Structure 1
Amino acid sequence: MGETADDGTCGQWQRVPEEIALRLGDVPGAAYEVPDEVTCALEAGHPGSHTAVLQGLGDDEIWLTWTVPKTAVATSCRADGLTCLLPTGHPGRHHVIMAEEIEDTGPYWAADRAELEALLAQN
């Protein structure tokens, strides 16, 4: 799959997680066979998550929703002289390895160098 549809729908595809397919495949009174892959049924260019029907039960349907995977080029975060494993500008704490050691240690979650040093002093 991986291609978009030409009928005005979004058409972005997603593999259905196996645990979801197994759970919905044996539901009594189910309307459909749960597919291995689905395509987004929303209009092309829609905002937010993608949506595809997985199963029908009476007057209700069960939908799979997912967000768009994307790639981005960003420099690595080196705030406060830390070796952070995340990109510059990331939210939350840094995910830090200690590369000054003979062998890398970590990773550790720390807001800044002071918190990291306090954490290391406890170990």
Structure 2
Amino acid sequence: MLTVLQMNYYKIRFYKLYFRDRLRISAKKRKVHLKEIKNLNKMTIIYHNILLTYKTLKSSFPPKIHAEFCLIESKWNIDDDLVLIDHAIVMQESYLAKQYQINAEITNKYLNYSLSFIAFIQITSIY
């Protein structure tokens, strides 16, 4: 049982490092594509699935094993890691959404300029 719990612990640690690194990388980028937002959503769903499996496994133990596991969990600082992961997910979602909106506004501005130019050419060709 301890090996299964340790495996889940390492999965959670991986996601902590993954989201922290993704947050650093996306903070340096200027352009954000829709694919990055979809990938973040997929990784968030996978993380929540692993967390659900972890919590279900933890709650299925008998009381004595559950108490021992809570001691191990406090040594591993899993609660702090979960809080950090949740904050990283929220920050990255808000940052990516804001950057994607800014990029979409810039693209729309250029499209409006080109449509205005095309309308100007059509009006001048009529007269």
TM-score range, shorter chain: under 0.3
- Scaled by the length of structure 1, the TM-score of the pair is 0.21
Q: TM-score, normalised by structure 2?
A: 0.21
| Greater percentage in strand | 1
